[in-house]
Structure formats: structure tokens, C-alpha cells
């Protein structure tokens, strides 16, 4: 017999994330103003590594991992970055290229339901290489994910758009001149 009884209402309220009710966070990371890195980011389980302190996942309980959905137009995706934990990518639709290395010199293309796991300490990025808008799941391991480490070139270009990170790794929007 189960040790924990949960009502349908409680399960629905606290442990179900309905995609139709989800709203993307357009400013979750410092690279999101760069045209080739524009994407829709949906925080589903856990806070992940968001640089926006106001990010609230749909399911807030600690799970030992974090899940986000990513949607992107063709040619768009995340810039080179690193995590202190493993990151796993599983496309729902489209063709995605996962690239890695200090300069993004390595890459593999993956499609729906393929699974790609990047270990901690490896610079990685991804882009939608299909012909239409596509979705992918990103899973980041652990409950304490630290902050994203970005390639310096990404931080420099983001700074030109008025975005930077503060000393805690949180996104700061500089006023337009």
C-alpha cells in the first residue's frame, strides 16, 4: 500500500505542467537577444540554471533534476555554454545540431526522440537545423545547478545589446543610451 495519498486536485495543482498553459521566458539567459540564439524557454521542473531570478518552473518540488522545453525557429538555439552538471537533450520535433568544444568545433545532428548527453565541463550549444519551428527537451542534472558559464565572445556580444550578468550570475538589463 502506498505511503502517500495525493488527491487529483493536489496532483493537478502541484505536479502537472500543462504545455498549453505554459508561457516562455524570453529573457532566461544572457544570449537571448542575439538573433541566432533567440528561442522560447519553458521552465517545467525545477529552476534549472536560469539567469533570470524571477523564473518560476511549472512544477517547483525538488526532483534531483531540472527539465526545460526549448522551442526555436530554424537556425536558432543556445550559444556555447557550460554547466557544472550533465545536460541531456531530447528533440520532440525537427532536426537539431548539438555542438561542443571550446570553439564549438564538434557537432552531431539529432532528431525526434534521439538523446544526447553532455558531461559537465564541456562547452556546448545547440541549434534547430530543420526547416520549421521545432521543440526539444533539455534536462539538467542535480538540484544545485550553479550558473551557466558562457564563452567570452557570447558575453561580449550580449553586452552590446545591453545584457550582462551581475556578480551572482543573474541577468542585468542595462538602460538604452
| Predicted TM-score of the model (pTM) | 0.89
The whole-number pLDDT of residue 143 equals 75
Question: 42: helix, coil or strand?
Answer: strand
How far apart are the C-alpha atoms of 137 and 6, rounded to whole Å? 27
In a domain, 149, yes or no: yes
CB 135 within 8 A of CB 141: no
In a domain, 46, yes or no: yes
How far apart are the C-alpha atoms of 54 and 168, rounded to whole Å? 14
How far apart are the C-alpha atoms of 14 and 71, rounded to whole Å? 24
Q: What domain count does the chain have?
A: 1
70-82 pLDDT tens trace: 999 999 999 999 9
Q: What is the DSSP string of 121-142?
A: T--EEEEE-SSS-EEEEEEEES
In a domain, 5, yes or no: no
In a domain, 154, yes or no: yes
Grid cell for residue 66: 531540472
In a domain, 109, yes or no: yes
User: 7 Cβ partners below 8 Å, 6+ apart?
Assistant: none
In the chain, the percentage of residues whose pLDDT exceeds 70 is: 99
Residue 58 backbone class (left: φ over 0; alpha: ψ -120 to 50; beta: rest): alpha
The residue written with cell numbers 529573457 in the block is 27
State whether the Cα torsion 96-108-156-27 is positive or negative: positive
The whole-number pLDDT of residue 177 equals 59
User: Domain holding 125: CATH number?
Assistant: 2.60.120.10
The residue written with cell numbers 502506498 in the block is 2
CB 77 within 8 A of CB 125: yes
In a domain, 94, yes or no: yes
45-74 pLDDT tens trace: 987 778 888 888 899 887 889 999 999 999
In a domain, 2, yes or no: no
Confidence check: pLDDT of 23 > 70: yes
Confidence check: pLDDT of 133 > 80: yes
Owning domain of residue 134: 21-160
Report the candidate in 97, 109, 110, 105 with the shortest Cα–Cα distance to residue 122.
105
**Average pLDDT of the residues in 141-153:** 84
In a domain, 49, yes or no: yes
Amino acid at each position: 500500500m502506498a505511503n502517500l495519498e495525493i488527491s487529483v486536485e493536489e496532483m493537478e495543482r502541484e505536479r502537472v505542467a500543462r504545455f498549453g498553459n505554459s508561457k516562455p521566458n524570453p529573457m532566461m539567459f544572457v544570449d537571448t537577444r542575439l538573433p541566432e540564439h533567440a528561442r522560447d524557454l519553458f521552465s517545467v521542473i525545477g529552476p534549472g540554471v536560469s539567469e533570470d531570478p524571477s523564473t518560476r518552473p511549472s512544477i517547483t518540488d525538488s526532483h534531483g533534476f531540472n527539465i526545460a522545453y526549448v522551442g526555436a525557429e530554424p537556425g536558432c538555439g543556445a550559444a556555447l555554454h557550460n554547466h557544472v552538471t550533465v545536460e541531456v537533450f531530447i528533440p520532440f520535433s525537427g532536426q537539431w545540431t548539438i555542438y561542443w568544444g571550446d570553439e564549438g568545433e564538434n557537432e552531431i545532428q539529432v532528431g525526434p526522440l534521439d538523446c544526447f548527453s553532455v558531461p559537465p565541463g564541456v562547452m556546448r550549444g545547440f541549434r534547430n537545423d530543420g526547416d520549421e519551428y521545432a521543440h526539444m527537451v533539455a534536462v539538467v542534472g542535480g538540484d544545485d545547478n550553479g550558473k551557466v558559464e558562457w564563452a567570452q565572445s557570447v558575453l561580449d556580444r550580449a553586452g552590446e545589446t545591453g545584457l550582462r550578468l551581475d556578480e551572482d550570475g543573474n541577468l542585468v538589463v542595462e538602460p538604452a543610451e
